[in-house]
């Protein structure tokens, strides 16, 4: 199910809200879980069972890690199990066919493709599970004691489709006690309506324009039309994505929970670096906190830093299967350089800007 549909707006949401607000506090999570499962099952019945099994595993591993708090050797086993299984499932759905087709083209075999459509939400679900288990392992959050609460966290329907990526630490207290109030309800509603308008009244409309221009044959595409086209695409992708985030954040607020912001007016940026800090914020900060910094970030010398940047580039690119994010992500990490700590700050800056333009040139004209 998607937010911008009549079924969601006029049937699902009203019934859910009614149920949510009349039941006593301790049953509110039950309503959330039930609603999430229905929302999810609407299009993706297959993945539900995997999602539930993963939730059981995350929860169990979290408890085990806490139990072996003082034994690094033991607790790391459970971290590996949980991270490994989560990643394996994501990889299977995302890359099985990609890998098979590559094997075929290299070896000349013709292994049949699996044609498994990517279940909606599998990526976001993985990000959430990993943030939970890694934080428990590091000791920055306490493990969840109630499976009922953990299941609420992992199924949480507002974010399941398109984020924002909600970390366990962001909502752990609200899983227990919701912050329900009239002001949150009304602000949440407003936020949701803004998001709906962004998606339906702007993104969908300029989307039609882009669909028309995209198919114009090269040679008939005038300069003016090409600019109208790409501007309409830029508007479509921004209003679609940020509209969905607004709707998710608004819904969460209605239910008495606070999600992190995902967009901050990206098109007013004065550099590409700034753009990526304002675009899909929860993803870039996830990569920063769970990959880049644990690898040593910029603290272990320039060579290590470059290695870390390349790893994050690769992962981000692989996740999106696109060059754009790969490129932008790289720039933002370069920007995280603490210039003053590096002796030859100026020369480093020159090298980075050179690399950036070189990379960009390569992508555009290869």
Q: Binders of another protein among 316-355, rule CB under 8 A?
A: 319-324, 327-328
Q: Is 179 helix (H, G, I), strand (E, B) or coil?
A: coil
> What phi, psi does 257 have (nearest 5°)?
-125, 155
Q: d(Cα 39, Cα 3) in Å, to the nearest integer? A: 10
Q: Do 81 and 59 contact (CB within 8 A), yes or no? A: no
Q: Does 215 interact with another protein (rule: CB under 8 A)? A: no
Of the residues 34, 85, 228, 306, which one makes contact with another protein according to CB under 8 A: 228
Q: Does 96 interact with another protein (rule: CB under 8 A)? A: no
Contact set for another protein, span 32-91 (CB under 8 A) = none
Rounded to 5°, angle at Cα 260 from 257 and 261: 125
Of the residues 125, 126, 154, 232, which one makes contact with another protein according to CB under 8 A: 232
The residue ranges of DSSP E strands in the chain, in sequence order, are none
Contact set for another protein, span 113-172 (CB under 8 A) = 117-118, 120, 123-124, 161-162
Q: Which stretch binds another protein (CB under 8 A): 145-153, 173-181, 212-220, 302-310?
A: 212-220
- Pick the closer one to another protein by CB: 180 or 200: 200
Residue with tokens 């609200």: 174
- Pick the closer one to another protein by CB: 54 or 136: 54
Q: Does 364 interact with another protein (rule: CB under 8 A)? A: yes
Q: How many residues bind another protein (CB under 8 A)?
A: 79
Q: Do 244 and 3 contact (CB within 8 A), yes or no? A: yes
Q: Which stretch binds another protein (CB under 8 A): 128-136, 145-153, 188-196, 289-297?
A: 188-196
- Minimum CB distance to another protein, residue 200 (Å): 4
Q: Which stretch binds another protein (CB under 8 A): 4-12, 77-85, 98-106, 337-345?
A: 4-12
Q: d(Cα 353, Cα 338) in Å, to the nearest integer? A: 15
Q: Does 271 interact with another protein (rule: CB under 8 A)? A: yes
Of the residues 41, 201, 302, 345, which one makes contact with another protein according to CB under 8 A: 201
Please identify which of the residues 115, 280, 320, 354 carries the catalytic annotation.
320
- Minimum CB distance to another protein, residue 79 (Å): 25
- Pick the closer one to another protein by CB: 111 or 193: 193
Element (H, E) at 236: helix 223-254
Active-site residue flag, 320: yes
Q: How far is CA 142 from the centre of its chain?
A: 23
| CB within 8 Å of 341: residues ≥ 6 apart | 298
Q: d(Cα 242, Cα 15) in Å, to the nearest integer? A: 26
Q: d(Cα 167, Cα 140) in Å, to the nearest integer? A: 12
Tokens coding 242: 């940020």
Q: Does 226 interact with another protein (rule: CB under 8 A)? A: yes
Q: Does 204 interact with another protein (rule: CB under 8 A)? A: yes
Contact set for another protein, span 240-269 (CB under 8 A) = 240-241, 244, 265-269
Of the residues 16, 35, 54, 213, which one makes contact with another protein according to CB under 8 A: 213
Angle separating helix axes 182-197 and 223-254, nearest 10 degrees: 160
Q: d(Cα 266, Cα 252) in Å, to the nearest integer? A: 23
Supply the residues annotated as catalytic: 320
């Amino acid at each position: 199910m998607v937010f911008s549909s009549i079924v969601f707006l006029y049937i699902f949401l009203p019934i859910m809200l009614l149920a949510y607000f009349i039941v006593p506090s301790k049953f509110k999570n039950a309503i959330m879980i039930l609603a999430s499962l229905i929302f999810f099952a609407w299009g993706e019945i297959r993945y539900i069972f995997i999602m539930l099994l993963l939730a059981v595993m995350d929860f169990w591993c979290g408890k085990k890690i806490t139990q072996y708090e003082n034994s690094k050797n033991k607790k790391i086993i459970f971290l590996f199990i949980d991270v490994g299984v989560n990643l394996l499932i994501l990889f299977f759905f995302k890359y099985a066919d990609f890998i098979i087709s590559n094997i075929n083209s290299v070896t000349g075999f013709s292994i049949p493709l699996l044609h498994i459509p990517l279940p909606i939400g599998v990526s976001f679900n993985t990000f959430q599970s990993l943030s939970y288990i890694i934080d428990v392992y590091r000791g920055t959050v306490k493990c969840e004691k109630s499976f009922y609460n953990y299941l609420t966290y992992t199924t949480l329907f507002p974010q399941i489709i398109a984020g924002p990526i909600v970390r366990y630490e962001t909502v752990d207290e609200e899983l227990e006690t919701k912050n329900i109030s009239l002001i949150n309800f009304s602000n949440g509603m407003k936020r949701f309506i803004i998001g709906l308008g962004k998606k339906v009244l702007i993104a969908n409309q300029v989307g039609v324009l882009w669909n028309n221009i995209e198919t114009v044959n090269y040679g008939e595409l005038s300069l003016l039309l090409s600019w109208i086209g790409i501007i309409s695409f830029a508007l479509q992708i921004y209003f679609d994505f940020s509209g969905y985030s607004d709707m998710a954040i608004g819904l969460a607020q209605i239910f008495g929970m606070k999600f992190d912001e995902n967009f901050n007016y990206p098109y007013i940026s004065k550099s590409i670096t700034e753009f990526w800090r304002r675009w899909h914020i929860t993803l870039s900060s996830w990569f920063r906190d769970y990959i880049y910094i644990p690898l040593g970030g910029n603290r272990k010398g320039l060579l290590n830093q470059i290695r870390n940047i390349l790893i994050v580039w690769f992962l981000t690119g692989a996740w999106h299967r696109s060059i754009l994010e790969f490129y932008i992500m790289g720039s933002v990490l370069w920007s995280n350089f603490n210039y003053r700590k590096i002796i030859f700050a100026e020369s480093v800056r020159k090298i980075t800007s050179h690399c950036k333009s070189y990379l960009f040139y390569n992508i555009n004209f290869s």
